[in-house]
Amino acid sequence: MTGTTGSTGTAGTAGHRILLDGRSVLLSDRPLKSGGEAAVYTVVGDDGVVVKVYRDTPGPQQERRLERMLTMTPLGGRPTDRAQPSELAWPTAQARGADGGFLGYAMQRFGEPDHVRLVGLFTRAQRMRLFPGRVDWRFLLGVGWNLAFMTARMHHEGLVVGDFSSNNVVVDANGFVTFLDCDSIAFTDPATGEYFPCLMQTADYCAPERQKGGPATEAGDDFALAVLVYQLLSVGNHPFGGVPHDSDSQSTVKDNIAASCSYVVQPERVVVPRGVLDPGVLPPELLLLARAAFGPGVADPAARPSAEAWLRALDLERSRVRVCPARPHHTYGSHLQACPWCGRLERTGQDDFNAAPAAAPVAAAAPARAAVPAPAAAAARPHRLRTALLTLVGLVVLLVLLGQLLSHG
Q: Which of residues 118-137 bind another protein (CB under 8 A)?
A: 119-120, 122-126, 130
Nearer to another protein, 26 or 393 (CB): 26
With CB under 8 A as the contact rule, the residue among 275, 357, 373, 382 that binds another protein is 275
With CB under 8 A as the contact rule, the residue among 61, 319, 334, 350 that binds another protein is 350
* Interacting residues of 351 by C-beta distance below 8 A, sequence separation 6+: 327, 341, 344, 345, 372
What is the per-residue binding string for another protein in 137-166, x denoting contact by CB under 8 A? ----------------------------xx
Could you check whether the bond before residue 382 is cis, i.e. omega within 30 degrees of 0? Answer: no
Residue 86 near residue 108 (C-beta atoms within 8 A): yes
Residue 155, helix vs strand vs coil: helix
| Residue 240 burial class via C-beta count within 10 angstroms: exposed 0-12, middle 13-18, buried 19 and up | buried
Length of the chain: 409
Q: Which of residues 302-341 bind another protein (CB under 8 A)?
A: none
Q: Which of residues 219-258 bind another protein (CB under 8 A)?
A: 235-238, 241-243, 249-254, 256
How many CB atoms neighbour CB 114 within 10 A? Answer: 11
Residue 332 near residue 139 (C-beta atoms within 8 A): no
Give the number of residues in contact with another protein, rule: CB under 8 A: 71
Nearer to another protein, 56 or 408 (CB): 56
Nearer to another protein, 243 or 288 (CB): 243
Least CB distance to another protein at residue 189 (A): 27
Q: Does 61 bind another protein (CB under 8 A)?
A: no
Q: Which residues of 371-384 are buried (b: 16+ CB within 10 A; e: fewer)?
A: ebeeeeeeeeeebe
With CB under 8 A as the contact rule, the residue among 45, 56, 99, 377 that binds another protein is 56
The continuous run of DSSP H or E covering 254 comes out as: helix 253-258
Q: Which of residues 6-45 bind another protein (CB under 8 A)?
A: 6, 8-10, 13, 16, 18, 31, 34-39, 41
Nearer to another protein, 203 or 371 (CB): 203
